[in-house]
Amino acid sequence: EAGVAQSPRYKIIEKRQSVAFWCNPISGHATLYWYQQILGQGPKLLIQFQNNGVVDDSQLPKDRFSAERLKGVDSTLKIQPAKLEDSAVYLCASRRRGGGDQETQYFGPGTRLLVL
């Protein structure tokens, strides 16, 4: 079974530029998550999808971050415009089913973003 795929693996941009990250979850996984991991900290949930609907985006800075999962499969996360403090690893994870089951989240390798 193929794992969670993410691209690009690395991205360097200047502040105020825009950037987009792509995630393809494990086939058949209904729930998809985007996390932000700042150096020295644990991953922090940004947004959570169940199929193509948003379940939780309470920690997403909506003035500059957006995400979509149009067909309930792959997803994109966009930052526009980027700030220095957005430098982090952006992790995508997926899980087979929705709520109520204690199922494992599987993580992709992440996209490392550096904002100069």
Q: Which residues bind another protein (CB under 8 A)?
A: 4, 31, 33, 40-45, 48, 50, 55-56, 91, 93, 95, 98-110
* C-alpha dihedral (71, 94, 43, 65), degrees to nearest 10: 0
Nearer of residues 53 and 70 to another protein, judged by Cβ:
53
CA distances from 64 to 31, 52, 58, 98, 106 (A): 23, 21, 14, 28, 26
Smallest gap, in angstroms, from Cβ of residue 50 to another protein? 6
Smallest gap, in angstroms, from Cβ of residue 55 to another protein? 5
Smallest gap, in angstroms, from Cβ of residue 54 to another protein? 11
